[in-house]
Amino acid sequence: MAERVSKDVGAATAALDYDAELMLRVKDGDGASFAILLEKHRSPVIHFLYRMVQNQAIAEELAQEVFLRVYRSRGTYEPTAKFTTWLFRIATHLALNSLRDGKNERTQERLDEHTDDMPVRQLPDSKPSVEQAMLYQAKFREVRQAIAALPEKQRAAVLMHKYEEMEYSQIARVLNCSESAVKSLLFRAYESLRARLAHMA
Amino acid sequence: MNCPLGTRDQAELLVAYSSHKLDRGQAAVLEEHIAGCAPCREFVRAQQAVWDALDVWEAEPVSADFDRRLYRRIDAQVTWWDRLMRPLQPLMFHKNVSLAAAAGLVLALGLVLNQTAAPPQRPAAKSGQVADMEGLQPDQVVKALDEMEALSRFNRLMKPETPESKM
């Protein structure tokens, strides 16, 4: 199988990642390769979408759509870019559409109310004091609000840069813009965050 | 070097430095400047504080039934063509075989349609007679419609969607 895949891909795509090879196997009808891709990218995609739309249920619904589209597109897949670039392009597109459609319009209300869906954090001390817990809650809430306040494209750029540790070039390909545009987006985004979170320093 | 805060491009370098994304060479040059520039020092300190603050936001665990739900949706989308071809999967390994099978099926469907759509041999209409549309039997019409529907579904299947077009 590996031999055939490499023949198909050719020299031009020889430097591409293992994920792209897996996707080519999915194209050939190998369901196990799809399972490997899902296992590897499930969490990063859902976490990215969660931070974009700030609602876990919507994030998982969108992630289902992302992987469904990956599966449906297997027949026409060509490894012209890194697999993750293609994957996050689909994810970003769906997240931006969802935000524009107002599917998660409750998000802002929820942010203003309370943080019921706040993850349980393992603090170093097994029994965090009330003060520690309150401090963490306050920080968590402020960070969420600060990121939610960013324009959508800046938000996507920051999330890919900070949490997915993507290079400028990859973010540029996901957002379909130039690298210098990404640097500019990030600069403005981090400046906004600095203004909002200055007191946390 | 000139103070990075003087120009936007250079200030972007400071942001990259604060997020630990600069290579060693660039970082060393900047550090030399920052050591003697109070505004840059303050800028970097504030940006690093933002970078660290963002670590507070941990993602939530994924639902345990995420994969199950996804596979159920995938399974629901399996077409009659896929189900038909599943037993032949080992034979369909090569794209050419798949294309040949599809072409064969199209040809066969075309022949069937051609035969069934051909009007039955009827005596030549006498002059002045109106075309006899009611001469068609209802089951012939139903059959022809079914076949057209099948051909239409097949055409849709033969035009796979592209990721770009879905985006």
Which residues of B, range 94-153, sit inside 8 Å of A by Cβ?
none
Structure tokens at A48: 């990215």
Q: Provide the residue type at B99 as one letter.
A: L
- Mean pLDDT value across residues B50-67: 91
Task: Specify whether the CB–CB gap between A66 and A89 falls below 8 A.
Answer: no
Task: Specify whether the CB–CB gap between A136 and A147 falls below 8 A.
Answer: no
Range in A12-26, A54-68, A185-199, B5-19 with the lowest mean pLDDT: A12-26
pLDDT at B129 over 70: no
The pLDDT value recorded for residue B92 is 55
Range in A164-173, B25-34, B115-124 with the lowest mean pLDDT: B115-124
- Residues of chain B with pLDDT > 70, as a percent, come to 64
Q: Determine how many CB atoms are found less than 10 A away from the CB of residue A121.
A: 13
Angstrom distances, CA of residue A80 to CA of A1, A83, A131: 20, 9, 51
Local confidence band at B122 (pLDDT 50, 70, 90 cut-offs)? very low
CA–CA separation, B111 vs B101, rounded Å?
15
Check B66 against A93: CB less than 8 A apart.
no
Task: Specify whether the CB–CB gap between B112 and B147 falls below 8 A.
Answer: yes
Check B70 against A68: CB less than 8 A apart.
yes
* Average pLDDT for chain A: 84
Check A119 against B58: CB less than 8 A apart.
yes
Q: Determine how many CB atoms are found less than 10 A away from the CB of residue A184.
A: 17
- Mean pLDDT value across residues B26-52: 91
User: Of A38, A43, A60, which to mutate for an interface test with B (greatest number of B Cβ within 10 Å)?
Assistant: A60
- Mean pLDDT value across residues A167-185: 95
Distance from CA of A91 to the nearest CA of B (A): 10
Using alpha carbons, select from B53, B19, B13 the residue that is nearest to residue B33: B13
Cα dihedral sign, A103-A187-A117-A115: negative
pLDDT at A2 over 50: no
- Residues of chain A with pLDDT > 90, as a percent, come to 67
Task: Specify whether the CB–CB gap between A89 and A173 falls below 8 A.
Answer: yes
pLDDT at A137 over 80: yes
Range in A90-94, B110-114, B134-138 with the lowest mean pLDDT: B134-138
- Tell me the per-residue pLDDT of B139-162, one tens digit each, with 9 for 90 and over: 777 777 787 787 777 777 665 554
Helices (H), chain B: 8-18, 24-35, 38-53, 66-76, 80-85, 95-117, 138-158, 163-166
- Mean pLDDT value across residues B67-74: 94
Answering whether pTM is above 0.80, one says no
Check B12 against A187: CB less than 8 A apart.
yes
- Mean pLDDT value across residues B93-108: 67
* Cα of A132 vs its chain's centroid, Å: 29
User: Of B70, B85, B94, which to mutate for an interface test with A (greatest number of A Cβ within 10 Å)?
Assistant: B70
Check A77 against B18: CB less than 8 A apart.
no
The pLDDT value recorded for residue A115 is 47
Using alpha carbons, select from A32, A26, A129 the residue that is nearest to residue A83: A26
The pLDDT value recorded for residue A121 is 52
- Mean pLDDT value across residues A120-133: 67
**A9 CB within 8 Å of a chain B CB:** no
pLDDT at A181 over 60: yes
The pLDDT value recorded for residue A7 is 47
The pLDDT value recorded for residue B144 is 78
Q: Which residues of B touch A50 (CB under 8 A)?
A: 59-60
- Mean pLDDT value across residues B103-108: 78
